[in-house]
């Protein structure tokens, strides 16, 4: 059943200098659609869904890998959020906080993002709600060459 938009506000904040990310377009689309769908279902037609992107530079001093550029995509909502006792299991196969949920959506997202060399994480959101951050590596030559 598709979630109703009702009184849901959508805010998008996209960095205009985003580069293209190498990867399987269909799989990455599936990741972001799943995160947005989960947020809409959590909002039950009332609240705010925000999707934002930006480029981050991360330093890997301990690993001796220098620095790297990453595309960061954040999907967050003002819904009820994730209970603290469930947060550690969110990406485990067959774990679901939804009645009738299969528990495969976030597990599949985790696998896809990892196969693309990235990470996906649930983060606490000040004021309540849920926030998921996906980071994907960007080749140095791609930064500033958005497609």
Q: How far apart are CA 133 and CA 113, in angstroms?
A: 11
Concatenate the DSSP letters of all residues of 15-79 into one string.
-TTPPP--S-HHHHHHHHHHHHHHHHHHHTTEEEEEEEEEEEEEEETTTT-EEEEEEEEEEEESS
CATH code of 69's domain: 3.30.565.10
Tell me, yes or no, whether 145 lies in a domain: no
Within 10 angstroms of residue 28's Cβ, the number of other Cβ atoms is 19
- At 84, is the secondary structure helix, strand, or coil? helix
Q: Is residue 147 part of a domain?
A: no
Residue 12 belongs to some domain of the structure: no
pLDDT value at position 62? Answer: 56
Rounded distance, CA 133 to CA 138, Å? Answer: 16
13 — phi, psi (to 5°)? Answer: -135, 95
**Residue 118 has what pLDDT?**
94
* Total of domains in the chain: 1
Residue 1 lies in a domain: no
Distance CA 129, CA 45 (A): 14
For each of the chain's 147 residues, which pLDDT tens digit applies?
444 567 888 899 999 888 878 899 999 999 999 999 999 998 988 899 999 999 988 776 555 555 688 999 999 999 998 888 888 888 888 777 776 777 788 999 999 999 999 999 999 888 889 999 999 998 655 444 333
């Amino acid at each position: 059943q598709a979630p109703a938009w009702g009184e849901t506000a959508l805010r998008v904040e996209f960095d205009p200098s985003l580069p293209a990310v190498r990867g399987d377009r269909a799989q990455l689309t599936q990741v972001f659609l799943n995160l947005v769908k989960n947020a809409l279902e959590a909002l039950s037609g009332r609240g705010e869904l925000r999707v934002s992107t930006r480029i981050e530079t991360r330093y890997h001093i301990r690993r001796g890998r220098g620095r790297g550029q990453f595309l960061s995509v954040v999907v967050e909502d003002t819904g009820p959020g994730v209970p603290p006792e469930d947060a550690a299991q969110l990406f485990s196969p067959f774990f679901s906080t939804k009645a009738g949920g299969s528990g495969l959506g976030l597990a599949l997202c985790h696998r896809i993002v990892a196969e693309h060399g990235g990470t996906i994480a649930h983060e606490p959101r000040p004021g309540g709600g849920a926030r998921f951050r996906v980071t994907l590596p960007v080749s140095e030559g791609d930064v500033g060459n958005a497609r």
